[in-house]
Amino acid sequence: MAVKKSVSLEKIVAEDFYDLKFVLDPQVSPDGSTVAFVKQHSTLDTLGYQSSICLTDTDGKNVRRFTSGTKRDHSPRWSPDGKRIVFVSNREGRPQLWMIAVDGGEARQLTYLWNGASNPEWSKDGKKILFLSRINVEERQAETKNGIKNEPLSSKEVEKLEREWQKEEAKKADPRWIERTIYRAGKEYFDDRNSHIYVIELATGKVSRITRADRNHINPHWSSSGKFVYCAAKKTGADDDTFTYDLLRIPSEGGVAKSLTQANSWGLNPIPSPDGKQIAFLHAEDHHGSAQNTQLMVVNANGQGQKRLVESMDADFLQIEWSSDSKKIYFTSPQDGDVGLYSVSVKGNKKTQHIKGTRMVRAFSLSDNNQVAFLNATPQYPCDIFTCDASGSKEKRLTNANADFLSRKQVQPIEEMIYKSKDGTKIQGWVIKPPNFSTKKKYPLAVEIHGGPHVMWSNSETTMFHEWQMLASAGYVVFFSNPRGSDGYGFKFKDAIHADWGTYPTEDILSGVDKLVDRGYIDTKKICVTGGSYGGYMTAWLVGHDKRFAAAVSQRGVYDLLSFYGTTDVPRLIEWEYDTYPWEDPMKLWEASPIAYAKNIRTPLLILHSDNDFRAPIPSAEGMYMALRKLKRNVKFVRFPDEGHELSRSGQPKRLVSRLNHILDWFNDNIKKK
């Protein structure tokens, strides 16, 4: 009998990011037979990302790439008859709408708008598609006067227009005139354009704009009759840093928008029911607004009869979708370290969980017969497309996007660790052990801290799969948890850090570290810590209040709440969290800032930050670096050009990999000294 040779698995390293594939945005066909989705991968040679539209049958067979993917194809949406797909692509320059027949053939470009097109949605009769495009007042006036030209241009015409456009944009920014509270976000300054809703008639190619007001219109959806379009826009007359939105109803032929109701939300997304009678949307109370759970609301199509569903649920609602019969609303919700799929009956208000288990349902869609396609993440793989029926049964995996990678790499299991904090509060955490782990050995420990502060980590967290496994492959025990302030455990747990971001999370994180040390396999002289955003805040806070760490890497952190208020694109976060302004109670914010404890920091600290981070702007990092330099501490500062707050998730691949190597090298270099 032949002896099967054992396969030697490779350790996971930072550069493996180039081999990972990510599937996104599952869209099931109206008849439930096929799922369209996006497959994305990074490219070292082009220093960016490429994505293509793929199709798979819901029986798990015949997975195939449907578009070329040499650029970025995304946002596939099925026609009502299931015979065509519209998608967004930048293959000819700016993102535009393209359409392709499902039975084959070449994709056809639908829009040729200078400012591009996004967010397509088919009308129920399949004759029109609405979409968004951003324009300013002058461009809107030109459209009104001359009509909207939706036709291809010659290469010479494009070059000429591009030169003129670049010249005009440069004038606007030299000097840059600021007249709004929030004037930049992500890694870009806002221009003078707002998103407007357009409709294209497929038979003629004619494009018309249906919105008039100079407002930013988001998340547009057709009514079932096709007579109206519902969308959201910031409340008229309010400061631009408000999170209060109008739910608007706009005639689909164009006309005056009517506000049906208002809601507080990070991005109100009104979803009309298939029968046209109601609209579902999410709302959150403004008091302690950043910690509030979202609430599921419905309102009649005329704006009357607003009510809240599932009032007893002490958790967030994420994505929401109507069932085809308009009797239920399906939704995802983060609870106890997992994200499941649920539904609630609109009349009986009865909640049912359909998809359970250790996983994160990151996105889903429903067919006309309520077949569910969903994006599933688990501790064993970053993300794949699954399907199930309306009840959550007959679950089937449709893709295995990283089969080759996972077959040759050492992916370590993730163990749950439930423990009690200093005051007895129950905390959920997780542990990843290195390959060939032995309880007889001592290992360095890497403590990871999430951002937010009000988010929830899971052992199925797609965005951290590679980083955690890389650290484990490098010989570290990896520990992460959801300390107080995290989402997923109710409002009281989330709001426990109100006006004090440091005290309870410190107790919760260090209690977990102590529990691991008690197990006997942690080298107490080689404990390291890192985190990003609020996790960067907590990394700096911990090393300013505790001496046990051998090395720390603080990423895109907030170190000075006073300067943060005036530079961030979310100043209301301070208002919500600390009930004050810097000019009213500066000492309150100073004493809550990690930089106030710089004198106590003896841990070698590496600060990673992006030059164009407008969420947690870099002056705060510069201040912390300067303080530690003056104090003669062991500190290094790495700045990433052209990147923003999302470097670790969607930054240029080469820089994303560089960031990972900086973390690991800093840990390794400093624990060797111990």
Q: What is the pLDDT of residue 366?
A: 96
pLDDT at 673 over 70: no
Q: Per-residue pLDDT averaged across 456-484, rounded?
A: 97
Q: What is the pLDDT of residue 129?
A: 98
d(Cα 231, Cα 431) in Å, to the nearest integer? 43
Banded pLDDT at 99 (limits 50, 70, 90):
very high
Q: Per-residue pLDDT averaged across 457-475, rounded?
A: 97
d(Cα 452, Cα 143) in Å, to the nearest integer? 41
Tell the residue number behind the tokens 């129920």, with chain if given.
124
Considering only residues 112 and 157, tell me which one the structure prediction assigns the higher pLDDT.
112
Q: Per-residue pLDDT averaged across 160-166, rounded?
A: 89
Based on the number of CB atoms within 10 Å of its own CB, is 342 exposed (0-12), middle (13-18) or buried (19 or more)? buried
Pinpoint the alpha helices (H) of 118-275: 137-146, 155-172
Q: Per-residue pLDDT averaged across 519-548, rounded?
A: 98
Q: Which strand (E) or helix (H) includes residue 221? A: strand 217-222
Q: Per-residue pLDDT averaged across 343-372, rounded?
A: 93
Q: What is the DSSP string of 243-306?
A: -EEEEEEEETT----EEEEEEE-SS---EE-TTSSEEEEEE--STTGGGPPPEEEEEETTS---
Q: Provide, rounded to the nearest whole percent, the portion of the chain with pLDDT above 90.
A: 84
d(Cα 592, Cα 498) in Å, to the nearest integer? 11
Q: What is the pLDDT of residue 6?
A: 46
CATH superfamily of 410-672: Alpha/Beta hydrolase fold, catalytic domain (3.40.50.1820)
Give the pLDDT confidence of 548-592 residue by residue, as tens digits: 999 999 999 999 999 999 999 999 999 999 999 999 999 999 999
Residue 193 backbone phi and psi in degrees, to 5: -105, 150
Question: Tokens representing 415?
Answer: 């163990």
> Which amino acid, residue 250?
I
pTM (two decimals): 0.94
Q: Provide, rounded to the nearest whole percent, the portion of the chain with pLDDT above 70.
A: 98
Banded pLDDT at 45 (limits 50, 70, 90):
low
CB 186 within 8 Å of CB 645 = yes
Question: What is the domain partition of the chain in residue ranges?
Answer: 410-672
What 8-state DSSP symbol labels residue 241?
T
- 235: nearest Cα among 222, 248, 254: 248
Banded pLDDT at 60 (limits 50, 70, 90):
confident
Q: What is the pLDDT of residue 7?
A: 61
Question: Tokens representing 145?
Answer: 């006067």
d(Cα 308, Cα 288) in Å, to the nearest integer? 19
Q: Which of 49-58, 151-160, 274-283, 306-315 is the least confident region?
A: 151-160
pLDDT at 2 over 80: no
Give the pLDDT confidence of 359-400 residue by residue, as tens digits: 999 999 999 998 999 999 999 999 999 999 989 999 999 999
CB 614 within 8 Å of CB 568 = yes
pLDDT at 46 over 70: no
State the average pLDDT for the chain. 94
